[in-house]
Structure 1
Amino acid sequence: MRERDLRKQALESGKTVSRAARSKLNTPSSSRANSATPSRVGSRVPSRNVSDDEDGLSDTTQWSSASIDEMLSPTEEKEEAPEIWTGILDDRINEICDRKRSSMQGREEALQGFAVLLTRHYALEQLRGKTDELVTAMLKSVKAAQSEREVALALKALALLLVTDPSDAVYDALAGPVKTCISDSQHSAAKVAGIHCLGVATFYGGASLEETAETMEFFLDIVSSDGALVEETDNGEVVTAAIEEWGFLATQIEDMEDATEAAMDTFVDQLESANPEVQIAAGDAIALLYEKSYTDAESDDEPAEDSDDDSDDVNNHRDGPRMIKRYTVYRQQHLLLQTLTALSKASSKRLSKKDRKQLHMTFTDILHTVEKPTRGPRYSTALDEDGREMGSRMKVAVYGGGRMTIDRWWKLQRMNGLKRLLGEGFLVHFQGNPVVFEGLPVFVEEG
Structure 2
Amino acid sequence: MHDLRRQALESGKTVSRKARSRVASGANSKSNSALNSPAQSRAASRNPSRRGSDDDDDYLSDGTAWSTNSIDDILNSEDADVPTDAWKAELHNRVEQIVDRKRSSTEGRAESLNAYAHILMARFAKDDIEGRIGELLPSILRSIKSETSERETVTALRALAVTIVTLDSDELYDSASDLLRRKVSDSESTQVKIGAIHALGTAAFFGGTSEDDLEDTMAFFLEIVESDGLSVDAHDEGSVVIAALEEWSLLVTALDDLEAATETAMEALVEQLESADAGVQGATGEAIALLYEKSYTPIEDDEVPESASDDEELPRGTQGNLYVKRYTVYRRQDQLLHTLDALANASSRRISKKDRKTLHSTFADIRNTVEKPTRGPKYSTAIDQETGFVYGGRMKVKINRNCEVRIDKWWKLQRLNALRRVLQSGFTLHYDENEAVSRCLPFSMSGR
Q: TM-score w.r.t. structure 2 length?
A: 0.82
Task: Determine the C-alpha separation between the residues in 2 that align with 1:151 and 1:51.
Answer: 20
Distance 1:310 1:132, change over 3 A: farther
Q: 1:122 to 1:149 in 2, by over 3 A?
A: same
Q: 1:6 to 1:141 in 2, by over 3 A?
A: same
- Flag the 1:434–1:50 CA change in 2: closer, same or farther, 3 A: closer
Query: Counterparts in 2 of 1:206-285, with a 5 A limit?
Result: 206-285=208-287
1:418 and 2:396 matched: no
Deviates more, 1:208-217 or 1:374-383: 374-383
Q: Judging changes above 3 Å, is the alpha-carbon distance between structure 1 residues 302 and 219 closer, same or farther for their aligned structure 2 residues?
A: same
Give 1:195's aligned residue. Answer: 197
Mapped to 1, the partners of 2:31 and 2:380 lie a distance apart of: 38
**Counterpart residue number, 2:53:** 62
> Share of identical aligned residues, percent?
46
**What secondary structure is seen at the aligned counterpart in 2 of 1:114?**
helix
Query: Would the alpha carbon gap of residues 363 and 444 (structure 1) be closer, same or farther in structure 2, given more than 3 Å must change?
Result: farther
Alpha-carbon distance in 2 for matches of 1:105, 1:135 = 19
Deviation at 1:194?
Answer: 0.2
Per-residue deviation, residues 51-89 of structure 1 (Å, max 9, x unmatched): 734699xx982379xxxxxxxxxxx98357542100000
Note if contact 1:61-1:193 (Cα within 8 Å) is conserved in structure 2.
no
Match of residue 334 from structure 1: 334
Q: Which residue of 1 aligns with 2:180?
A: 178
Could you say what secondary structure the match of 2:391 adopts? strand
Per the alignment, residue 354 of structure 2 pairs with 354
Q: Partner letter of residue 157 of structure 2?
A: L
Contact 2:94 2:113 in 1 (8 A): yes
* CA distance in 2: counterparts of 1:421 and 1:220, whole angstroms: 21
Q: Distance in 2 between matches of 1:166 and 1:307?
A: 47
Q: 1:225 deviation in Å?
A: 0.3
2:28–2:425 Cα contact (<8 Å) kept? no
Aligned to 1:389: 390
Distance, in Å, in 2 between the alignment partners of 1:133 and 1:283 is: 42
* Cα displacement string for residues 109-128 of structure 1 (whole angstroms, at most 9, x for unaligned residues): 11011011011111111112
2:320–2:389 CA contact under 8 A, matched in 1: no
CA change 1:237–1:305 in 2 (3 A) is: closer
Report the secondary structure of 1:128's partner residue. Answer: helix
For residue 428 of structure 1, what is the aligned residue in structure 2?
429
2-structure distance, mates of 1:332, 1:273: 19
- Equivalent residues of 2:221, 2:245 under 8 A apart: yes
Structure 1 residues 83-122: aligned runs within 5 Å: 83-122=85-124
TM superposition shift of 1:142: 0.9
**Structure 2 stretches lacking a partner, 5+ long:** 10-26, 35-49, 56-72
TM-score with structure 1 setting the length: 0.82
Residue 131 of structure 1, aligned match among 130, 133, 139? 133
Q: What per-residue deviation string (whole Å, max 9, x for no partner) do you get for residues 384-443 of structure 1?
A: 337642211111222337532111111111111101111111112112211111221132
Q: Secondary structure at the match of 2:191?
A: helix
Q: Distance in 1 between matches of 2:112 and 2:33?
A: 14
Contact kept in structure 2, 1:60 and 1:115, CA below 8 Å = no
* Helix, strand or coil at the partner of 2:357: helix
Q: CA deviation at 1:249?
A: 0.9
Higher normalized contact order (CA 8 Å, seq sep 6+, divided by chain length)? 1
Counterpart for residue 36 of structure 1: none
SS in 1 for 2:155: helix
SS in 1 for 2:439: helix
Please name the residue that 1:73 is paired with.
none
For residues 180 and 297 of structure 1, do their structure 2 counterparts lie closer, same or farther at Cα, with a shift above 3 Å needed? same
CA contact (8 A) 1:131 1:161 kept: no
Secondary structure in 2 matching 1:397 = strand
SS in 2 for 1:298: coil
Cα deviation, residue 305, structure 1:
4.9
- Native 8 Å contact 1:61 1:149 kept in 2: yes
CA distance in 2, matches of 1:303, 1:253: 23
Task: Specify whether residues 213 and 305 from structure 1 end up closer, same or farther in structure 2 by C-alpha distance, changes over 3 A only.
Answer: closer
Which of 151, 154, 166 pairs up with 1:152? 154
Once the two structures are TM-superposed, the CA of residue 354 in structure 1 deviates from its matched residue by: 1.9
Are 2:76 and 1:78 aligned? yes
1:409 aligns with: 410
Query: Structure 1 unaligned runs (5+)?
Result: 9-48, 65-75
Q: Does 1:373 align with 2:373?
A: yes
CA deviations on 1:10-32 (whole Å, 9 max, x unpaired) are: xxxxxxxxxxxxxxxxxxxxxxx
